[in-house]
């Protein structure tokens, strides 16, 4: 097994391909975490569970795009391995939240128009 710093250095050169390969796993994990968050013993939130999968895809694509754009794979990986959300992870998450909110705004405005 390669030492982690050496592995990270090798992975940084393959960043785009690696992230593309990991995106489906990230999407599945995000879906599972969302489903756990909306789980309800009596099933009244069943329709929200379907939304989890719909949200996970654009969110995982955004995270991969932002990590590539910011060139922060090694920083985010290090923070994740340390079990924390550090500055690099928060920058990526913040950019994605902002992007996803801008994307959802037209639908939101149509569903909930200001009167």
Q: What is the pTM of this model?
A: 0.67
* CA–CA distances in Å: residue 61 to residues 11, 47, 55, 57: 19, 23, 10, 6
Per-residue pLDDT of the chain (115 residues; tens, 9 = 90+): 445 554 554 555 555 677 777 788 888 888 888 888 777 666 565 566 678 888 888 988 898 888 888 888 888 888 878 877 788 988 988 999 888 888 877 777 777 777 6
* CA–CA distances in Å: residue 2 to residues 23, 33, 55, 111, 115: 23, 30, 35, 52, 60
pLDDT of residue 101: 86
CA atoms within 13 A on the CB side of 60: 22
Q: Token pair of 1, please? A: 């097994």
pLDDT of residue 34: 83
């Amino acid at each position: 097994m390669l030492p982690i710093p050496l592995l990270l250095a090798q992975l940084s050169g393959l960043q785009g391909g690696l992230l593309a390969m990991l995106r489906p796993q990230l999407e599945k994990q995000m879906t599972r975490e969302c489903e756990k968050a909306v789980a309800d013993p009596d099933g009244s939130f069943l329709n929200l569970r379907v939304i989890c999968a719909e949200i996970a895809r654009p969110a995982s694509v955004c995270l991969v795009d932002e990590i590539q754009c910011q060139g922060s794979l090694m920083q985010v990986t290090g923070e994740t391995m340390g079990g924390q959300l550090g500055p690099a992870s928060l920058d990526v998450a913040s950019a994605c939240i902002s992007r996803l909110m801008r994307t959802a705004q037209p639908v939101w405005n149509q569903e909930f128009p200001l009167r």
